[in-house]
Copies of this chain bind each other. A is one copy, B any other.
Amino acid sequence: MSDIETGLFSIDELENVQITIGKIVGAIEKKAKEEGVEVGPTPKPGISGLRDWDFTLLSRYQPVYTPVCDQCCYCTFGKCDLGGNKEGACGINMEAHQARETLLRVITGAAAHAGHGRHILHHLIGLYGKDKPIDVGPSNLVAPNTQAVTGIKPETLGDLEEVMDYVEEQLTQLLATIHAGQEGAAIDFESKILHGGMLDHVGMEVSDLAQISCLGMPKSDPEAPLVEIGMGCIDSSKPVLLVIGHNVAGVTNIMDYIHEHDLGDKMELAGLCCTAIDMTRYQTDQGQLPQAKVIGTLAKELKMIRSGVPDVIVVDEQCVRADVLDEAKKLSIPVITTNEKIMYGLRNRSKDSAADIIEDLSSFKEPGALILDFDVLGEVAPELAIKMSKIRDEMGINALPSEEELQELSEKCVQCGACEMDCPTNLPIMAAMKAGIDKDFSKFENLHDKCIACGRCDQACPKDIPVLNMIEKASQKLIREEKGLMRAGRGQISDPEIREEGVNLVLGTTPGIIAMVGCSNYPNGTKDLYLVADEMLKRNYIVVMSGCSAMDLGMYKNEDGETLYEKYPAKFLAGNLINVGSCVSNSHITGTAIKVAAIFAQRQVSGNYEEIADYITNRIGAVGVAWGAYSQKAASIASGCNRLGIPVVVGPHGSKYRRALIGKPYQKEDWKVYDARDGSEMPIPASPEFLLTTAESIEELLPMLAKNCIRPSDNNMGRMIKLTHYMELSQKYLGHMPEDWYKFVRMETDLPLAKREELLKILEKDHGWEIDWKRKKILSGPAMKSDVSAQPTNVKRLCKGEC
């Protein structure tokens, strides 16, 4: 046996093959030590690795189960009725099963990201090699999630493979526990959920690090360009190539082809969902202009297809409607699938020539093709679009009903109500039909923004009325005006930015970070996003967007015709509006929190997840909002935030995630932490009150956001600012002073200066606090002290004198 050192080697006779020796027991620690980094207690934790931390969180934030179904249909002992928390045939009760269901959805989401990550990593290593350095901007801590979780500090693409191995191994372990006859306790499923969520952020991070490094995407760039967005920005007189999905791997070949063949002006390249975002990030790190347009989110898919505008549709993976091929076929639009996750039963043409494929599809011999060879794809997609454009023009494809038809269809309606009952949001379709009889189509138009274009109304109608097409037709004017701007995803927050802003966040003088993610399933249309973001930005919160929310936000303009992306700068500073990027860029949001702990507070990050999470829990006033949370991915993203102690509010549809994590502010013993200086217990404010919950309307949401940014570490200035916003937002949107405001007051300087006297009076009168009126000081009353040098922690071992 020969001896070698850890490092890079090449191997005889296998040219261009390199191997990095690192994946061996002890190697992580060794490598880390060489770099002067210590590895914490839990590199690559297994399912039980962070269970104690989870139990700490879960003892304060209890799972609240709201089943989507009273039954379990996992195995053939069932289906079992678990109603009333009964046990099924395997002995599992409703509670544990709901936790299991939630786990299943969370790991499904995590797998979607991890599967994406593995795919694009494999693809990019194929193109750039394992030694391709990771370069995502001016940061040393390039992979905060990865490093905190696995202890690995990745430097090259190759390093990321080991990270993916870990994620996949753990996801398989978690999926195994879904099997009948595995875990029996709800609380342990809950811990597994948090584990799954944590893994999700690692998987997402790997995806984005890889693509940013290789595809010329903005690298922590606050000046990332503005991108056209909206159905209205498409010039339908040109050939239109529409891309749908999340994984930009193959699309880059299309973009290269268009660029190399100078087709950019001759056609429209448009995207739906996160692929769209990543298309606009592609090759823009040197100030180049984005080469594609964004249509919008999942909720625009059916509308866009049914408009008949696309000449070719390319789909990759995730959030792609299952009926794309069927719908496209009806309008003579060829569909190309490009990823093993979605193949639609189409014939694999990967080894055929571009010419043959174009011939077959343009002659409608087959409705589409599977092309896994991206060079072939790169040529076929744009050339086919150009060809189809002419063919389809000549065919005179008529997509939407005419005005007359609109009226006739309205008349056909028998007001049976099936459509409204089946509409996920129970939109008032019948009234629109009624008005339509009199050629008043404004009620259809009103539905446009609220309608997620799911098509369920069409499926339900006994009269076969194409309800969705009617809404779309009636909204043509609105749609034409649907032109906005979105800032292209900038990537992660850089280390220098953290150094600058960290202190403000921890002390609360920047009132908080509001991260808005998720998509489509808004209770009341997309405009609410705009209203929330604007309100919080005006109040100096940092608003971070990603994925579909980032798109929806770009769709709205204020009175001056400005989008929020134009109105607010995009640095990591109070009052700034940041788009980190696509779905997988969500990892940069948690990454930011980790960075604050690691860089600003200098906590050890590698393999030290618990301490980092504890730090974030007690000091970083961040709240996630997934207002339109529809997917399993949103559930896993939220769970990953939760394990770091970051609370998330979802819209009312999010109640269908089956479980929330909500604390009981009235239960005093739940709101205590240790002071790390001496291990003594200290009371803390009941904020965040929850780790995951729903809100009913944005009016309810806004004060919730402000309140739940409050943290034990706030200094007086910080607390005062946060409290002011909480009180003001309550008054503005709920019409009253919140009942519990006084619970957050530790001393008079926590009170807003302008109202201090008034508030002191209330404290004295309504709450019996003793006030020294001469010095305007509170003498007694508060449940807790203000002590900026206290070191709040939930983890006993982190206290002085402990292990």
Report which of B81, B187, B344, B629 forms a contact with A184, defined as CB distance below 8 A. Answer: B344
B341 touches A177 (CB 8 A): yes
B48 touches A176 (CB 8 A): no
* Residue from the list B13, B180, B182, B631 in contact with A181, Cβ < 8 A: B631
Q: Which of A12, A176, A298 has the most CB of B within 10 A?
A: A176
Which one of B1, B10, B87, B183 contacts A10 once the chains associate, using CB atoms below 8 Å?
A: B1
A17, A19, A81, A341 interface centre (most CB from chain B within 10 Å): A341
> Contact between B3 and A9 (Cβ–Cβ < 8 Å)?
yes
A452–B73 contact, CB under 8 A?
no
Give Cα A76 to B306, complex, Å: 24
C-alpha spacing A716/B454, complex, angstroms: 59
Instruction: Report the copy number of this chain in the oligomer.
Output: 2
Question: What string of 1s and 0s marks CB contacts (under 8 Å) between A167-201 and chain B?
Answer: 11101110111111111111110000000000000
Chain B, residue nearest A49 (CB): B340
Q: Once bound together, how far apart are the Cα atoms of A86 and B105, in whole Å?
A: 23
Shortest distance between the CB of A35 and any CB in chain B (Å): 16
**Assembled-state Cα–Cα distance A108/B507 (Å):** 46
Q: Check if A116 is an interface residue, CB within 8 A of chain B.
A: yes
Q: Which of B6, B81, B164, B176 has a CB less than 8 Å from the CB of A112?
A: B176
Q: Beyond A76-B654, A657-B76, is A111–B21 a contact (Cβ under 8 Å)?
A: no
Of the candidates B1, B86, B176, B632, which one forms a contact with A74 in the assembled complex, judged by CB atoms under 8 Å apart? B632
**A395 contacts the other chain (CB 8 A):** no
Which residues of chain B come closer than 8 Å to A96, judged between CB atoms?
A: 322
Q: Does A597 contact B (CB under 8 A)?
A: no
- With contacts A75-B631, A114-B176, A341-B173 taken as known, whether A10 is within 8 angstroms of B3 at the C-beta atoms is yes
Please tell me if the beta carbons of B115 and A176 are within 8 angstroms of each other in the complex.
yes
A326 to B12, CA, bound (A): 61
Q: State whether B179 touches A112 (Cβ < 8 A).
A: yes
The interface centre, meaning the residue of A1, A87, A455 with most chain B CB atoms within 10 A of its CB, is: A87
Q: A77-B452, A181-B631, A319-B181 are in contact. Are A340 and B46 (CB under 8 A)?
A: yes
Interface flag for A722 (CB, 8 Å): no
- Given the interface pairs A184-B344, A343-B185, the reply to whether A9 lies near B13 with Cβ below 8 Å is no
Residues facing B in A335-351 (CB within 8 A) are 340-345, 348
CB contact under 8 A between A76 and B173, given known A27-B14, A93-B322, A455-B89: no
Distance from A655 Cβ to chain B, minimum over Cβ atoms (Å) = 8
Contact A172 to B118, CB < 8 A, known contacts A165-B165, A181-B320, A320-B181: yes
CB distance from A421 to the nearest CB of B (A): 10
B48 close to A343 (CB less than 8 A): yes
Which B residues lie within 8 Å of A582 (CB)?
A: none
Cβ-based interface call for A728 (8 A): no
Range of interface residues on chain A? 35 or more
Which chain A residues in 9-34 approach chain B with CB under 8 Å? 9-14, 17-19, 21, 24-27, 30
Is A643's beta carbon under 8 Å from chain B? no
A47 touching B341 in the complex, CB below 8 Å, given contacts A176-B111, A324-B91: yes
In the assembled complex, A318 has its CB within 8 A of some CB on chain B: yes
| Interchain CA distance A8-B69 in the complex, whole Å | 54
| B73 and A68 contact, CB distance less than 8 A | yes
A186 to B77, CA, bound (A): 25
Which of A76, A81, A327: most chain B CB closer than 10 A?
Answer: A76
Given contacts A52-B348, A114-B172, whether A89 and B454 have CB atoms under 8 Å apart is yes
Is A325 located at the chain interface by the 8 A CB criterion? yes
Task: Annotate A630-666 by CB proximity to B: 1 below 8 A, 0 otherwise.
Answer: 1111000000000000000000011011000000000
Is A223 interfacial (CB-CB < 8 Å)? Answer: no
A767 within 8 A of partner (CB): no
Q: A78: which B residues are within 8 A, CB to CB?
A: 68, 424, 656
Contact of A318 among B46, B51, B173, B182 (CB under 8 A): B182
Residue interface bits A60-104, CB-to-B below 8 A is 1, else 0: 000000001101011111111100001111111100100000000
A124 contacts chain B at the CB level, 8 A cutoff: no
Q: Smallest Cβ distance from A485 to chain B, in angstroms?
A: 26
A164 to B171, CA, bound (A): 13
Contacts of A116 in B (CB 8 A): 176
By beta carbon, the residue of chain B nearest A195 is B340
Question: Is the beta-carbon distance between A2 and B1 smaller than 8 angstroms?
Answer: no
- Whether B455 and A87, one on each chain, are in contact in the complex, defined by CB atoms closer than 8 angstroms, is yes
How many angstroms between the C-alpha atoms of A12 and B1 in the bound complex?
12
Contact A318 B179 (CB under 8 A): yes
Q: Please, what's the 1-or-0 string for A101-127, where 1 marks a CB less than 8 Å from any CB in chain B? A: 000010111011011101100000000
- 6 nearest CB pairs, A to B: A115-B176, A184-B322, A91-B323, A89-B454, A111-B175, A92-B322
Could you name 16 residue pairs across A and B whose Cβ atoms are closer than 8 Å? A2-B9, A4-B11, A14-B26, A47-B341, A48-B372, A51-B348, A68-B78, A75-B631, A79-B656, A89-B455, A89-B456, A90-B321, A90-B454, A92-B322, A93-B323, A165-B169
